[in-house]
Amino acid sequence: MHLAEFDNVTLRDNTTNCLSIDDFRNQVYSTVYSIITVFGLAGNGFALLVLVKTFRQRSAFHIYMLNLAVSDLLCVSTLPLRVLYYVNKGQWNLGDFLCRVSSYALYVNLYCSVFFMTAMSVTRFLAIVFPVQNLRLVSERRARLVCVCIWVFICTVSSPFLMTGQHLDPATNKTKCFEPPERRTGGGLSKLIMLNYFSLVVGFVLPFLVILLCYAGIIRALLSRQHTAQRQKGAGSKAIRMIVIVMLAFLLCFMPYHIQRSVHLSFLSQTATSCSELVYMQKSVVVTLCLAASNSCFDPLLYFFSGEGFRRRLSTFRSTSRTQRQPATETGAQPPLGRGTRFESSTLFQSCCFNRPATLSRSCCFNRPATLSRSCCFNSLSQPMNAQL
């Protein structure tokens, strides 16, 4: 499954008079990986900070977003090693261990992203199409269990990437990484073809079909509820944004890579090829692998534009950070709530209880359970209450 990087080393044996694309490969990889590193670290790092700081507001969707952000950060943290390799014209100087880890991390992130997006799509499908059953089927505990299963499964099936480390290329006397040490033919090529079809079906086709079915159900449910309340329209808009972003990620990042990888393997089995075909195939390897790696930059868009309450979390994070930077005497903040309170901050409690409308029940603010105050306080603003104060 090192097929995406089977470029010059694999194809050079077929035609010795063809021009090398080493310069093209080194320039494109080093440039694109640098851009992905900057945007991936900034976007996913900030998203992870917000998700961790607002962890008390966790839900099943939040658990999936958190794991997806961790996966992306692990991947982009290894991309600078690839940049150094291609800046050094294909010379690896960082040791065998980092070579194996760098190859492993990219593909673990690729397929973890696919499965976490699938889990998020199923969660959104259940919330919109089966809202009653969703309360029973979807929980934080089950989301954590699903995430553990995804990590274990992907890390296990991606283990072949740990088998190939650095090696010395006798033709150039350079220490190579991300490239196979010899041309794979016969049984070796047949094994690679089987591995490719396994990862193609399990890692792309099946998740993609699940996502398509979920989105078809979501769209059908939304079209049948055109005259619902405004609150349901908000849920529908979040679902539509999620559909657009996830489909773009699959169509732009994952699909070209998997199609090209399968075509590449078929191409390797041919005995007679022209130089133009070789060059085209090698360049397509470079482009599609860059597109696959860029999925780390799409995920922050998924958090912000379709994440369940992510913008509310961001607002809470900003308010909390601003309050912590100001002296207590200046803000007039009240003592924080008990540790058991998951959603409220002292600012929210103060706003609900001490600036409450006249119709707000005293029991809501002063005799409240930790999980009651939010719904009680906010519902009182829109629904009149006849409680005696």
Amino acid letter for position 331: T
Task: Please state the domain extents for the chain.
Answer: 3-315, 332-382
Strands 167-169 and 174-176: antiparallel
pLDDT at 57: 65
pLDDT at 232: 54
C-alpha angle 260-265-267 in degrees, rounded to nearest 5: 90
What is the distance of C-alpha 23 from the center of its chain?
Answer: 31
Q: From CA 353, how far away is CA 338, in angstroms rounded?
A: 16
Average pLDDT score over the chain: 76
DSSP state of 146: H
Q: From CA 60, how far away is CA 206, in angstroms rounded?
A: 22
Q: From CA 143, how far away is CA 358, in angstroms rounded?
A: 41
pLDDT at 301: 81
Q: From CA 237, how far away is CA 307, in angstroms rounded?
A: 11
What angle do helix axes 346-354 and 373-382 make, rounded to 10 degrees? 40
Strand partners, 174: 169
C-alpha angle 244-246-247 in degrees, rounded to nearest 5: 65
pLDDT at 375: 43
Q: Which residues of the chain have pLDDT under 70?
A: 1-17, 57, 180-188, 226-236, 271-272, 305-389
Q: For residue range 189-203, what is the model confidence (pLDDT) as tens digits?
A: 778 888 889 999 999
The contacts of residue 273 (CB under 8 Å, 6+ apart) are: 14, 15, 267
Q: What CATH number should be reported for the domain whose range is 3-315?
A: 1.20.1070.10
Residue with tokens 């670290």: 41
